[in-house]
């Protein structure tokens, strides 16, 4: 609903943040009314360039989220996805507060080269990704 309204030539980068909790499986939730996921995305000319979030570091809460997602997938008839036990074990050992950002370099190239198709700027085909 929102992304189509973010386009517009000449606009500076736009940061969208404080996502609904349902939109951030691995992000920490900030309590409040309403509670929000500590997550953001950066858009330029209507295209998402980067997203990031404050990591959820509570292994019990992360396990509950994984199990809730498994129930929803089962109810929808989708394939089961086993919880990432290595991640849960790392969190249980005492994961420090941290965050990260994933930047879509391919999308930057798309904008800089005035291309309309990601396959025109990728170094290798999607099949090899």
Distance (Å, rounded) from C-alpha 48 to C-alpha 16? Answer: 10
Please enumerate in sequence order all residues whose Cβ is within 8 A of that of 103, keeping only pairs 6 or more positions apart, or say none. 49, 50
What does the mean pLDDT of the chain come to? 88
Class of domain 3-117 (CATH, top level): alpha beta
Output the pTM of the full model: 0.74
Please enumerate in sequence order all residues whose Cβ is within 8 A of that of 66, keeping only pairs 6 or more positions apart, or say none. 25, 83, 84, 88
Burial of 100 (0-12, 13-18, 19+ CB in 10 A): exposed
In tens, the pLDDT along 56-78 reads 999 999 999 999 999 999 999 99
The ranges assigned to domains in the chain are: 3-117
Query: Is it the case that residue 33 has pLDDT exceeding 90?
Result: yes
Percent of residues, the chain, with pLDDT higher than 90: 53
**57, 115, 110: which is closest to 88 by C-alpha?**
57
């Amino acid at each position: 609903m929102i992304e189509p309204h973010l386009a517009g030539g000449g606009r500076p980068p736009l940061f969208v943040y404080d996502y609904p909790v349902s939109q951030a499986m691995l992000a920490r939730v900030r309590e409040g009314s309403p509670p929000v996921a500590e997550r953001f995305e950066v858009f330029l000319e209507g295209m998402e360039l980067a997203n990031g979030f404050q990591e959820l570091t509570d292994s019990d809460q992360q396990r509950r989220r994984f199990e809730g997602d498994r129930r929803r997938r089962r109810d929808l008839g989708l394939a089961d996805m086993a919880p990432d036990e290595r991640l849960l074990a790392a969190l249980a050992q005492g994961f420090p507060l941290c965050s990260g950002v994933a930047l879509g370099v391919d999308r930057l190239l798309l904008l800089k080269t005035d291309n309309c198709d990601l396959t025109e700027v990728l170094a290798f085909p999607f099949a090899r990704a």
